[in-house]
Amino acid sequence: MSDRKIDELQKLYDNPKVGTLVQEICEYYATQDNYEDNSYRDEIEPHEIVESVYGLFCLQSREQILDEFAIVQKKYPALYESVSTLSSTLLINMDCHSLEQKYAEKIADYAKDTSADEVLNHTESFSRSSTSLSEAVDRFYSWLHSRSR
């Protein structure tokens, strides 16, 4: 990861206008850019699953997340380069239901004996009952690990 991205990431963590989920997403994508020869694929979840989980939870509070990505774009342009695809996907897809369904199906295909509806129900439940979206993501991963192959 470039020195500029490291510097921007440190500043991002100190910005109270950007929530922990967007901070986590920025760190994930910025560090993923640094991997050579796809070695990041050795992580716990495949990147398709991580990206689908992030997308799904971003949709739970889409407007707020888009506002936070706008701050990242303005103040931390090197970091934004890493997350611009996700940000654009959230911005462009006005039919959130079909995007949610797409993410949920990817996750359901990964998890053992799990339907897309179960994924969506747990996403909504964890989002409502957690103090933050970042906490909801952690709870979702705990549930997902109990279902994984």
Grouping H, G, I as helix, E, B as strand and the rest as coil, residue 111 is: strand
Rounded CA-CA distance 129/146 in Å is 19
Rounded CA-CA distance 130/51 in Å is 20
In this predicted structure, the answer to whether residue 56 has a pLDDT above a threshold of 70 is yes
Residue pair 41/30 in contact by the 8 Å Cβ criterion: no
Confidence class for position 46, pLDDT limits 50, 70, 90 = confident
Which run of H or of E encompasses 6? Answer: helix 3-13
Report pLDDT digits (tens) over 2-26.
Answer: 889 999 999 999 999 999 999 999 9
Report the percent of the chain where pLDDT is more than 70: 90
Got the DSSP string for 62-109? HHHHHHHHHHHHHH-HHHHHHHHHHHHHHHH---HHHHHHHHHHHHHH
Residue pair 18/76 in contact by the 8 Å Cβ criterion: no
